[in-house]
Structure 1
Amino acid sequence: MHGRLRNAFQTERLSFRTFESEDLPALAALTADPGTMRFVGEGRPLSTDETAAWIEASRRNVQRHGYGTGAVLFEGRLIGWGGLARPEGEPEELIYGLGPRWWGRGLGLELARGLTRWALGDLDLAQIRATVHPDNAPSAAILQRLGYRVVSRRLDGDDPSVLFVLSKGAAPSP
């Protein structure tokens, strides 16, 4: 149906677009890093094959839905990923990650703000959610700064998480 991310966007410093096959080496380097992956998925680094499968799954989602997860670029260089996941039977979920070299520069906030505006504005979604590991204070702070509210906390078990939600009417102004 769609070959590119619908309404891919740019922020002041970042570009967001669908993954391309050529992204594999840079993305695999990021997903192989334990620090980058600490709070992502199962909390472990991914192999190059797993990263390649993720790129292909993301591209299939873009074909099917017109949006999904894509590459985040700074000055033309892939430094992370972001977008919307579609968990089974759940509203779209905001996901993003940047390599440690890019932390502490305000890029996470800039990316999350851009993704939120894209999802609630350009894609006209009524609501988006984000799931954050309880120890990931920087991501929780970004979401709270953007107006997301905590709706549940699951702190026990194998996969502790805090669920944040932002509805269209509560979205931050541009």
Structure 2
Amino acid sequence: MPHDHDLHTERLRLRAVGTADRDELRRHWSEPDVCRFLFDGVPPTARETDVLIEDSARDFAAAGAGLWIARTTDGGPLIGTAGLRPLDDLGLEVYYSVAPEAWGKGYATEAAGAVVGHALGPLGLPFVLAEVDEANTASAAIVTRLGLVPYETVPGLLGPMTRYRRDAAPVTRTA
């Protein structure tokens, strides 16, 4: 049964995370290669995972976006997550994670692209942001493929972080 906030791509189905996803998310986010940049190397605790799920549910109810869990369209195992969250007071940033066994298949670009498209399309956001650790060259390549351009470097826990931005396409009106 489809959910109100599902997103679909050619190969993926993204569904809003819920409490039933807690254990699977904890396992995924506890993978050292997954939490390295997403959580600065420290996996979220059970309580922190619950808060992330609760915050996502609140954000979906209030604004139509939060955190999605991604699987292949055939309902296979967890591919990863993608979502929108506040970046300081600047706006919403796209963020994502991919299971190591799914790396190199374009899933991160596909899932994050669906979220960026949702943000700049149906949600009507004027822009979307991303913040990427300088050492995370794979993620920098992904956001660049999605049309985000770097605009500043800021300090981060693991070293410098580059902030990216993509503006919504201007609306042209005809007379």
> Which residue in the other structure is 1:39 paired with?
37
1:141 Cα deviation after fit: 0.6
> Which residue in the other structure is 2:150 paired with?
150
Provide the C-alpha distance between the structure 1 equivalents of 2:156 and 2:17, rounded to a whole number of angstroms.
Answer: 34
Provide the C-alpha distance between the structure 2 equivalents of 1:95 and 1:153, rounded to a whole number of angstroms.
Answer: 17
Higher RCO, 1 vs 2 (CA within 8 Å, ≥6 residues apart): 1
Provide the C-alpha distance between the structure 2 equivalents of 1:39 and 1:53, rounded to a whole number of angstroms.
Answer: 19
> Which residue in the other structure is 1:9 paired with?
7
- Counterpart contact for 1:5–1:67, Cα < 8 Å: no
> Which residue in the other structure is 1:67 paired with?
65
Name whichever of 125-134 and 161-170 sits farther off: 161-170
Counterpart residue identity of residue 169, structure 2:
G
1:53 Cα deviation after fit: 2.2
> Which residue in the other structure is 2:173 paired with?
none
Provide the C-alpha distance between the structure 2 equivalents of 1:59 and 1:79, rounded to a whole number of angstroms.
Answer: 20
- Counterpart contact for 1:32–1:47, Cα < 8 Å: no
CA distance 1:42–1:5, change in 2 (3 Å) = farther
Please report the TM-score for the alignment, with normalisation by the length of structure 2: 0.85
SS at match of 2:7: coil
Q: Which residue of the other structure, out of 15, 18, 40, is the alignment partner of 2:16?
A: 18
CA distance 1:124–1:133, change in 2 (3 Å) = same
Please report the TM-score for the alignment, with normalisation by the length of structure 1: 0.85
> Which residue in the other structure is 2:84 paired with?
84
CA distance 1:158–1:98, change in 2 (3 Å) = closer
> Which residue in the other structure is 2:122 paired with?
122
1:128 Cα deviation after fit: 0.4
Cα displacement string for residues 86-139 of structure 1 (whole angstroms, at most 9, x for unaligned residues)? 234221111111111111111111112211111111211110000000011111
Superposition RMSD on alpha carbons, in Å? 2.0
Counterpart residue identity of residue 94, structure 2:
L
How many residues align? The count is 166
SS at match of 1:129: strand
Counterpart residue identity of residue 36, structure 1:
V
1:145 Cα deviation after fit: 1.6
Counterpart residue identity of residue 100, structure 2:
P
Cα displacement string for residues 5-40 of structure 1 (whole angstroms, at most 9, x for unaligned residues)? 64x310011111211221112111101111101001
